[in-house]
Amino acid sequence: MPRKQYLRDLEEVRIGHAIPDITDIAPGDESGQFSFLYSSPTFPPVSISVLIPDVSDYPATHSFMVFAGENAPPEIATSLEELRHINGKSISQLLEIVSRSLALAHADQDGDTYMPDSQVEEDSEEDDFESDNEDDWGMGIGPAPAHNFTSTRDSTIFSEPRALSEHRSRVKLDLQTAKDTGFKVGVHGRIMEGGPCFVSISCRVAKLGVSHEAMQAWQLDRKDYLILLIHYPHGYTSLNDLMGYGTTYHARERLEMRVGKSSTYKPSHFNALRAFSNVTSEGSRRLAEADDEEKSNSFENIFISKPLNQLLNERLLAILRYRFQGIGWEGAEAFYDDHQAANAIRADVMDAKYLGEDTMKSDLSELLYHDHILEKDKDHSLPLAGMQFLLRHVVRCTEFCLVCHCKLQEDLEAIKPYVCDKPLCLYQYMSLGFGPSIEHEIIAQPHVVDLLVSFCYTRALSLQLQDFPLGLSLSVPSCLPALPSEPDLGYGLRGPFARRESETGSSKVPEGIPMRFDRNKLEMIFDNGMTCPVRKGEWIIIDSLSKDVTLHLRVDETAFYPVVKLSEPVSVPKSEYDNNDAETKNSNPTLAAATTSAGTSGFVPASFIKYDRNFDELSNVERCSAICRMLDTLPRTSEMREYLTRNNPAELKDWVTRILPTALGILRWIIASNRACIVQVDAATTAADEESASVIRNMEDRVHGMGGWMQFRFAMGAPDKEKRFRNAVKSTADRLELRYPTLFAWHGSPLQNWHSIIREGLHFKQASHGRAFGDGCYHSMDINTSMNYSGMYSYAYTSGGLSAFRGWSQSELKITSALSMNEIVNAPKEFVSRSPHLVVAQLDWIQTRYLFVKCKAHVAIPDVSLPSQEHQQDPHMTPSGTTGKIVIPATAVSLSRRTATQGTANVKGKAKGTSVDPILMDGSSDDDDAASVATLSEDRSILEDDDTNTICIDNDGIYEDDNDIVLLGASNTKENQSPSRPKPPDVMDFTPGRLDKQTLPLLAEPSYATPAATKRLQTDLRILLKLQSRTPLHELGWHIDSALLDDNLYQWIVQLHSLPTALPLASDLARAGLDSVVCELRFPPSYPLAPPFVRVIRPRFLPFLHGGGGHVTAGGAMCMELLTNSGWSPANTIESVLLQVRLAMMSTEPRPARLERRGGYAGVGGGGDGGIYGEGEAMDAYVRACKVHGWEVPEGFKEMRRAAGWMEM
């Protein structure tokens, strides 16, 4: 749509323009109108307006009307008059023309032309002096290399053709180096001409080597691409040139980096612009409506994009400078951390502690072991070095602080990243948005939030909480009621809530500030003429009106002092710890507050206490008390979820009348400091939510035999913990020849321990219940044994006996006990003890899988049927559930082991997949991103080798040498030199080079050939032949014999081969003495704007009407929307076309493809052709198929028919 294109182009230049002297681009009041400011040192800012009379002609045949404001100098008006005849340009092209034209108007009397960035040369002299004292640089590196170009603010202007040629060669070298390492490279902008550009370096998440559980915790999908996007606003600058800048500041001006993910290997140009711009939500909505296609090439932040962006932009160049002194990543980062505030330090005085080799775990992905800086002596590629640095901090993110990026203590393993113990880091993590979105967690997983808060609350209530939200500037009331105590439980056990004598809270209650309070009007009045003691927005506590509840109120208005207006109170019952009725009282805080003053009207004497005490100044006991009291003021998770969904988009901090800032800070800390991956399996809620009470999120993930228990998928440990566990399982199973490599067992622990377990993982550093059977993690096959450990402190002792629930009063789950189900290496004889408990000392032998919680609340969790795929357990080591032996779903184990157990073949993800792992298998050679079929033509052309894509310069400019057509000659047999990797036995054999040229309908080069199509076909064919030369035949599945191409690029003969022997089509081919399906591709004159025509030459397929399939028409043409105007996109590659045609032939839905039988198979025994399709019948069948399905026939198809000698239908 022309209007959509106009709106998108206007928004692109508005948010990401890089045009000299043009600013403040804004749409006008009328359709097709926009304005901008032109500024220069010679003239004051001039407002210029542009009008497109007919937007429907944009962007091809439209015209522009350009006007200057009334205050415009005559030179400006004259220059704009000369632009009247410029039509058919895009908005960005027009603005560039305007900028250049007005720059010429600045010529002085001597004829010199004003250069907008001539100041750069003047600044360079100052830089020479500044570099002597620069903190970040000064490592003894030599001066900047000589440049053969002039750097301006927006582009690099090359002074001679040789400099441009060197620039292009360096761009190709840097990007090709990254590609050869296994990454995918994408480009937007005028990178080869020295203009502003974007470079994306990416790899699929599947190649990172992290577990499925870690991907889930990090909100990544194995099909996503992790992308480093680099913006060069002044043109591409090599790492050598960047190192030559005298200061960090000037080097950073040359580039900016962003980290994100996408479903494709590079974002669209628009989304790349957006990544470096601040776009309002309204602007995003309008742009989304203008072009929905941008969504497929989006660029989204990953879970730690913000700290990674800061790390790359602030530190990468300085760290690379240190790397060139011969030290590794660890030494360079440590050196930066230790000396970032010191003066420049030379390499000859560098401490030896920085010179050690990098230490990495042995189970990390192979990508992390490559070090471009060490592997190459010179001509280092910044995109590659930056991507390797990024992967180091993504895959190993849990080893580094997310704020200061220092290494964390090595004895703590977690699956989610966090910060170090510095209070400033915690403050920045929480206040600057580096942590996870608590709003997202509440909306997506309200039960998990309830679970985390309940665990923390119980830990604080037991006075065992050791880690606190310090450094967050949290304010609490001056008075904190002490937590209740508990009698001795007998048998030498003392309740966890019993107060330790050495830790007592403040018993002195400060006096409140006197006032009179009107509950109905929510006003308080002061009588003694004092200065107003409160400020608007503060929270206070009124504790003197009732012995049952405490009122927390926010100051709404102080302008009418001595009368102060308050918000609706949040009430917290004082007796929630020992009164069963607390749950009822606190279900509606405002109602509970209202009951406290029933029958009371007018002002009554009262007093209040301010939130004026710093949480950090409290003792540990007081901190525990404050956390419990503040959490009790929060709404229920369902209420918070309802608020967020009703006011979307919204944040909890906006709910100022209901949520206290201190309570919100503690809630944020609880969620953000959780370092385990917990995913709710049950979507059931309490009985109060009847509509969703019986909904199960994923029945296939639920363990059968645990009725009445709420289930969560549960993973802990470092991101590589799953890989270490898999290695332990494999090595032990091979050593002991185990049929059942693992077993499942229960682990129970008191409720107050789970807050620390989910943050530190399972370990046995502390003995909570004695170690009568040795040191290790204790497990049991009997659930009752673990339940005894998990629920012994769930209830409180009151005067009436064991009665009331002790936990977070606002919890909807009312958790009374929790236990985990863990998968363990099945080697009981090697445990510390195997009876009566399983005591496992090898922590890498244990992997948590499920967390079960028992709820006191009436949670509706219906019984579920058996899972469709069951995990096979050792019959002698099967744990018991609440209703007998449990049945564990196959999804409980890790993805890779699940696939291996099911015997799924390691099929290439590009060809086909399974419901378990639809894309890639670990270790698949097809993980090579550099060879992915998704590479676009514009990126492939940049990465062409110099020997096959020569750059020539003449008086007319730059052009590509077309003489590389010699690669297509018959003498080129490189494509047959495929790597030799063993062929699986379940695919057909294939021998290339056996096609008889005389039996094929080869044509001469058509008269409709066009230069654009010819050039594109040359590039496509060259890429396919290179891919064919380095890929085993059976993995590729297609073969092109260049000897059959002759001089006609518009007709390709392709053999589809190596079909799985299980297919009926493969059986038919074998019986016919054939090893491939011979196909023809014919290209129209408008290629790649129009699709190729694809048909089968031989053998003949059984028609669909007679029971055949494979998407082959009765005439042999392929029946696929992809090959019509309706489904074709110029971004499609021939490799992807061949892949999808092959997949279509292999498809068994609705029926599998079969060969046509004519009194037996034609050609049996003699290697015959199995029947040949005619050209005319194929073309006719293609047109019929398009008409039946309503697809559009490409315009160039008529010319192809005429060139083949066939009349139109």
In a domain, 455, yes or no: yes
**Per-residue confidence (pLDDT) for residue 104, from 0 to 100:** 67
Distance in angstroms (rounded) separating the CA atoms of residues 299 and 507: 56
Identify whether 1119 is a catalytic site residue.
yes
Q: Are residues 589 and 716 in the same domain?
A: no
Among candidate residues 73, 104, 135, the one where a domain is terminated = 104
- Residue 805 — left, alpha, or beta (φ > 0 → left; ψ -120 to 50 → alpha)? beta
Q: Residue 539's pLDDT is what? A: 94
Q: State the angle between helix axes of 1196-1203 and 1175-1189 in degrees (0 to 180), rounded to the nearest 10.
A: 160
Alpha carbon 725 to its chain centroid, in Å, reads 25
CA dihedral defined by 552, 554, 558, 562, rounded to 10 degrees? -10
Residue that is written with structure tokens 């908005």 in the block: 91
Q: How many CB atoms lie within 10 A of CB 147?
A: 15
Q: Which of the 8 DSSP states describes residue 1155?
A: B
Task: Write a three-state SS string for 882-935.
Answer: CCEECECEHHHCCHHHHHHHCCCCCCCCCCCCCCCCCCCCCCCHHHCHHHCCCC
> Can you say how many angstroms the Cα of residue 119 is from the centroid of all Cα atoms in its chain?
41
Q: How far apart are CA 807 and CA 505, in angstroms?
A: 20
**Are 80 and 225 part of one and the same domain?**
no
Please, what is the end-to-end C-alpha distance for the chain in angstroms?
A: 32
Alpha-carbon distance of 389 to 329, in angstroms, equals: 8
CA distances from 449 to 192, 456, 1035 (A): 51, 11, 47
Q: What domain count does the chain have? A: 5
CATH number at residue 51: 3.10.110
CB 114 within 8 A of CB 128: no
Helices and strands (H and E) in the chain: how many:
33, 38
Distance (Å, rounded) from C-alpha 1139 to C-alpha 933? 9
In the block, residue with structure tokens 């943050």: 759
Burial 239-252 (b: 16+ CB within 10 A, else e): bebbbbbbbbebbb
Sign of the torsion angle spanned by Cα atoms 955, 957, 960, 962: negative
Residue 590 has a pLDDT of: 42
State residue 490's pLDDT score: 34
Res 595: pLDDT: 42
Clarify whether residues 668 and 687 are in a common domain: no
CB atoms closer than 10 angstroms to residue 732: 18
* Domain-embedded: residue 752: yes
End of a domain among 868, 901, 934? Answer: 901
Task: Give the C-alpha separation, 586 to 571, whole Å.
Answer: 8
Contacts of 711 (CB under 8 A, 6+ apart): 680, 681, 682, 701, 702, 703, 850, 851, 852
* Statement to judge: residues 657 and 779 lie in one domain: no
Which amino acid does the sequence have at 571?
S
Give, as one character, the DSSP assignment of residue 1060.
Answer: B
Given the residues 425, 777, 855, 1119, the one annotated as active site: 1119
Give the three-class secondary structure for 814: coil
Q: Which residue has the tokens 């040191």?
A: 775
Verify that 133 and 234 share a domain, yes or no: yes
Q: What is the pLDDT of residues 923-980, one digit of tens each?
A: 333 444 443 435 676 777 777 644 333 333 233 332 333 333 233 333 333 334 455 5
* 505 within domain boundaries: yes
Whether 94 and 137 map to the same domain: the answer is: no
Query: Which regions of 412-548 does DSSP assign to beta strands (E)?
Result: 475-476, 488-490, 493-494, 513-518, 523-525, 539-542
Residue 1195: inside a domain? yes
Q: Per-residue pLDDT tens for 509-536? A: 567 889 999 989 999 999 877 789 999 9
Q: Which residue has the tokens 């601040």?
A: 278
Task: For residues 526 and 555, state if they share a domain.
Answer: yes
Residue ranges for the chain with pLDDT beneath 50 = 107-154, 279-293, 341, 343-345, 347-348, 486-507, 576-599, 684-697, 793-803, 899-933, 945-977, 1159-1168
Tokens 């665990």, residue located = 455
Phi and psi at residue 1105, to the nearest 5°: -65, -20
Q: With CA atoms as reference, report the closest residue to 9 among 49, 46, 65, 55.
A: 55
Backbone region of residue 939 per phi and psi (left: phi > 0; alpha: psi in -120 to 50; beta: other values): alpha
Closest CA to 815 of 438, 439, 447: 447
Q: Which residues constitute the domain of residue 736?
A: 683-901
682-697 in b/e burial notation, b at 16+ Cβ within 10 A?
A: bebbbeeeeeebeebe
Instruction: Tokens 């006991």: give the residue.
Output: 621
**Extended strands (E) in 519-569:** 523-525, 539-542, 549-557, 563-566
Q: Please give the backbone phi and psi of residue 1143, each rounded to the nearest 5 degrees, phi first.
A: -60, -40
Residue 144 belongs to some domain of the structure: yes
Q: Answer whether residue 494 is part of any domain.
A: yes
Q: What is the CATH number of the domain that holds 692?
A: 3.90.228
Its pTM stands at 0.58
- 3-state DSSP: the chain helix, strand, coil percent, rounded to 5? 35, 20, 50
Say what the pLDDT of residue 260 is: 92
**Domain end marker among 395, 413, 436:** 395
Q: What's the pLDDT at 42?
A: 67
**Residue 501, Cβ density class (10 Å: 0-12 exposed, 13-18 middle, ≥19 buried):** exposed
947 within domain boundaries: no
Same domain, 1137 and 1100: yes
User: CA 869, CA 871: separation in Å to the nearest integer?
Assistant: 7
Question: DSSP label at 299?
Answer: -
Q: In angstroms, rounded to a whole number, what is the distance separating the alpha carbons of residues 183 and 861?
A: 47
> To 10 degrees, what angle do helices 382-395 and 161-180 make?
30
For 497, which DSSP code? Answer: T
Structure tokens at 242: 């960047």
Helix, strand or coil, per DSSP, at residue 760 = helix
Tokens representing 750 are: 């008191």
Exposure b/e, 362-376, CB count within 10 A at least 16 = b: ebbbebbeeebbeee
Same domain, 77 and 192: no
What is the predicted pLDDT for the residue at 216?
Answer: 78
Q: Are residues 248 and 273 in the same domain?
A: yes
1077 φ, ψ (degrees, to nearest 5): -105, 120
For the beta carbon of residue 675, count every other beta carbon within 10 angstroms: 21
Task: Say if residue 146 is in the same domain as residue 44.
Answer: no
What's the CA angle centered on 689, arms 687 and 690, to 5 degrees?
A: 75
Question: Residue 114 is encoded by which pair of tokens?
Answer: 């004003």
Residues 131, 99 within the same domain: no
Judge whether 194 lies within some domain: yes
